[in-house]
């Protein structure tokens, strides 16, 4: 029981001393892939290629961390240094708002 109490107190201390960060507000470019706008995606993303597997369109993105496969509905994002990556729609909508001119 003493060990559990010591462990829990230690976890509270770690949580309270762990540095926190907030995402900087930056504009990004992104397109949502709907499976039918592949040509638009490929003209936007120089590091993307597409193919069909078992009659299903596949979008592959060469990222800084390696190849990533996007699913229909994912957003293809162009990052701050020109890199491309996919983002699930729920995460995208929680993270970004559309910029209006």
- The pLDDT of residue 94 is above 90: yes
- The pLDDT of residue 91 is above 90: yes
What is each CA distance from 42 to 4, 32, 45, 46, 53, in whole angstroms?
55, 12, 5, 6, 18
The alpha-helical segments, DSSP class H, found in 38-99 are 38-44, 89-95
Q: What does the pLDDT read at residue 4?
A: 78
The rounded Cα 43 to chain-centroid distance in angstroms is 20
Question: What residues does each domain of the chain span?
Answer: 26-95
Burial class of residue 78 in the structure, from the number of CB atoms within 10 Å of its CB (0-12 exposed, 13-18 middle, 19+ buried) = middle
Q: What does the pLDDT read at residue 38?
A: 93
For range 79-97, the mean pLDDT: 94
Query: Over the stretch 19-78, which tens digit does the pLDDT of each residue have?
Result: 888 888 889 999 999 999 999 999 999 999 998 889 889 999 999 899 999 999 999 999
């Amino acid at each position: 029981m003493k060990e559990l109490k010591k462990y829990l107190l230690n976890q509270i201390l770690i949580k309270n001393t762990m540095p926190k960060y907030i995402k900087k507000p930056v504009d990004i470019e992104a397109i949502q892939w709907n499976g039918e706008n592949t040509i638009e995606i490929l003209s936007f993303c120089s590091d993307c290629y597409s193919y069909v597997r078992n009659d299903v369109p596949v979008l592959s993105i060469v990222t800084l961390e390696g190849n990533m496969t996007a699913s229909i509905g994912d957003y293809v994002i162009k990052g701050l240094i020109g890199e491309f990556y996919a983002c699930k729609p729920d995460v995208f909508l929680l993270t970004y708002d559309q910029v209006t001119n």
